[in-house]
Amino acid sequence: MIELIEVSKTYLLGKDQQVQAVKPTNLQIQSGEFVVITGRSGSGKTTLLNLIAGLTRPTSGSVLLDGHDLWSLSDKEQSLLRNQTVGFIFQFPSLLPSLRVLDNVVLPTIFEESGAVSNEKYARAKELLATVGLSDKLRAYPRQLSAGQQQRVVIARALLNQPKLLLADEPTSNLDEQTETEIMELFRQIHTTTGITMVMVTHTSQLVRYGTRAISMAMGQVLNSGD
Amino acid sequence: MNLNLLAWNNIRGSAFRSLVVALSALLVASFAVSTTMIMRGAENSLRLALERLGADILVVPQGAEASAETALLMGVPAEMWMPQSNLEAIAAIPGVEKVSPQIYLTTLEDAACCSAPNMFLVVFDPATDFTITPWLKQNVGGELKLGEVVGGHYVFTPEGAENILIYGYFVTLVANMEPTGTGLDQTMFFTLETARDISRISFSRAVTPLVIPENQVSAIMVKVAEDAVPSEVAIDILQNVPNVTPIESPNMFQAYRKQMSGLLSTVLVVMGITWLLSFVLIGLVFSMAANERRREIGVLRALGATRGHVLRSLLAEAGILALVGGSSGVLLAALGIFIFRKTIVESVGVPFIFPSLPSLLLQIGAGVALTLVSVTLAALLPAYRISRMEPSSAMRE
């Protein structure tokens, strides 16, 4: 499903200053796995997730998603691949404040070839919102929801296009303990029922129990790939 | 939901920013359209006035050029006299096809014997006239009878009255001419016969009698033969007829043209500065907005938006705001000019005629198009820069 070959990422901080966020890394993630990447702040785990998602260009190496070298694709091809194959859950509130919940969920559809949202997509969005327990919030705006409810909407949005890969970056970091458990249980349920490949980044090592494989990182290096 | 709706929702979601951009667009559009409308209105007005005068050369007493032009353009009454014998002298000049005299008079101000105070009156001779008579034949179906007058577009009979009182003499308004935007719109035209009758009656009925000097005329209208060159005829008049000034039709209203040209230069500079300031302001607002929305744009990229989608979405926002602001601006400008056209004419000191509907629509369309292009261009650089950003960098605080 995902293969990282000698992938590294270096950020330039100034003229002469640079920091290697991810050191040359080889990693393979198979279909159906639920990989939990742990590490302290600044360990490079979010950068690694961004590299997997094609959200940042590696300084060296190749990222293969379903056999496609992400950086040999055009912007349009890469965006379409992300749209159709990958679902994202971010650490920060990522719903568009000006859109209602239902419109936020169908948002990825407007970037498809047709550019418009079909009735089928709206039906699927409603179904997904029901799955995450928010069928009564279709017309609400994000500001009218709690942090936990907003994250559920984000999960529904991530699943809209039935992606093969779900990437989550610290999805519970802004939530209280009870909501964190609810969200993680939801992830486990999604993984079990759909068999989707999931990669989650967290600094909370206790959450590795939800995954099928744990990877730990420190100083930009994968210490334990859990193979 | 589609990309344009997304842009519209973003506009609604950032009310203050949207208001600043829309107001800038409104400013650019209203300024561009109002100045264009005034300048074109003044140009059209001059053209129509020249057409109405219908002479190739206007001969006036020496030194009376400015007051004659002011009278004809701005409706400020003027009296000027020269010997009637000039008529024969000019008619004898080679290349002159027709000549006809005109007498310029004024009604009295604050006098019970004049219901139209301080009005410019043009007296013509139907026997020789080639400027008003053809219009009369075409529009009234004949010549003016004794006591009949034809008025400029804004000359009217007082409410409740059947006639207009001039120097204690009742005249009948038989028709109004089309508007020119000049003083001709407030001018009354009648024949020499009527003028002499008014003068006769005025001695017994008016506060001050209307005196028309014997064997004197105010101006002479000259029509040049087809094979003659008007400028050469004008030089001949200048050389052969003493104490007169011939004004060629294209050179008529030169003082106003110069005034308009000066005004146009000032307006263009102010318009350029306004446009530049608005352009920079809109660019800054969009730059700030793009920066504020970096994370949101990063999320959209992660969800599958291409660089093109991001660019199109941001430019659609700019386009919608330009259309809303620009349309409001041009409509406000057109409405403002329509309502305050009299004040504008008085304060700017040039004649003005409101444009015809096709011309108005064209100017409105051009104003909206200018605004659309300006706002889109101002938004282009920030939109392009943010669209080229790596999604992960965009999402980073």
Verify whether the Cβ–Cβ distance B395 to A88 is below 8 Å. no
ipTM tops 0.95: no
The residue among A148 and B74 whose pLDDT is bigger is A148
Of residues B1, B107, B46, B24, the one with CA closest to residue B255? B46
Task: Give, for B104, the enclosing helix (H) or strand (E).
Answer: strand B96-106
Domains in chain A (CATH in brackets) are: 2-224 (3.40.50.300)
Task: State yes or no: pLDDT of B100 exceeds 70.
Answer: yes
pLDDT tens per residue, range B260-313: 777 778 888 888 888 888 888 888 888 888 888 889 899 999 999 999 999 998
Give the minimum alpha-carbon distance from B253 to chain A in angstroms, rounded to a whole number. Answer: 59
Q: What is the pLDDT of residue A138?
A: 92
Q: How many angstroms separate the CA atoms of B56 and A46, rounded?
A: 85
Task: Find, in chain A, the residue whose alpha carbon is nearest to that of B300.
Answer: A108
The mean pLDDT value for B122-138 works out to: 89
Residue A108: list chain B partners with CB under 8 A: 303-304
Strand-pairing partners, residue A69, are A64
- Helices within chain B (DSSP H only): 3-13, 15-53, 65-74, 86-91, 133-139, 192-205, 230-240, 254-292, 294-302, 307-339, 341-348, 357-387, 391-395
Identify from A13, A56, A110 which residue to disrupt to test chain B contact, counting B C-beta atoms within 10 A and taking the largest count: A110
Which residue in B9, B302, B307 is closest to A99 by CB distance? Answer: B9
DSSP A133: T
Of residues B382, B371, B377, the one with CA closest to residue B32? B371
**Contact residues for A126 (Cβ-Cβ < 8 A; gap 6+):** A102, A135, A138
Verify whether the Cβ–Cβ distance A50 to B392 is below 8 Å. yes
Task: State yes or no: pLDDT of B96 exceeds 90.
Answer: yes
Q: How many angstroms separate the CA atoms of B273 and B307, rounded?
A: 33
HSE at residue B269, side-chain half, CA atoms within 13 A, is 5
Q: What is the pLDDT of residue B349?
A: 66
pLDDT tens per residue, range A118-154: 888 899 999 999 988 888 999 999 999 998 899 889 9
Say if CB B364 and CB B337 are below 8 A apart: no
pLDDT tens per residue, range A147-203: 889 988 998 999 898 899 999 998 888 788 888 898 899 889 989 998 999 999 998
Q: pLDDT-based confidence at B255, cuts 50/70/90?
A: low
Task: State yes or no: pLDDT of B334 exceeds 90.
Answer: no
Residue B302: list chain A partners with CB under 8 A: 53, 55, 82, 88, 90
Q: How many angstroms separate the CA atoms of A82 and B236, rounded?
A: 86
Of residues A80, A53, A58, the one with CA closest to residue A201? A53
Task: Find, in chain B, the residue whose alpha carbon is nearest to that of A48.
Answer: B392
Verify whether the Cβ–Cβ distance B299 to A109 is below 8 Å. no
Task: State yes or no: pLDDT of A226 exceeds 80.
Answer: no
Verify whether the Cβ–Cβ distance A55 to B2 is below 8 Å. no
Strand-pairing partners, residue B172, are B148
- The alpha carbon of B47 is separated from its chain's Cα centroid by a whole number of angstroms, namely 10
Task: State yes or no: pLDDT of B75 exceeds 80.
Answer: no
A residues 51-90 near B, CB within 8 Å? 53, 55-57, 75-76, 79-80, 82-84, 88, 90
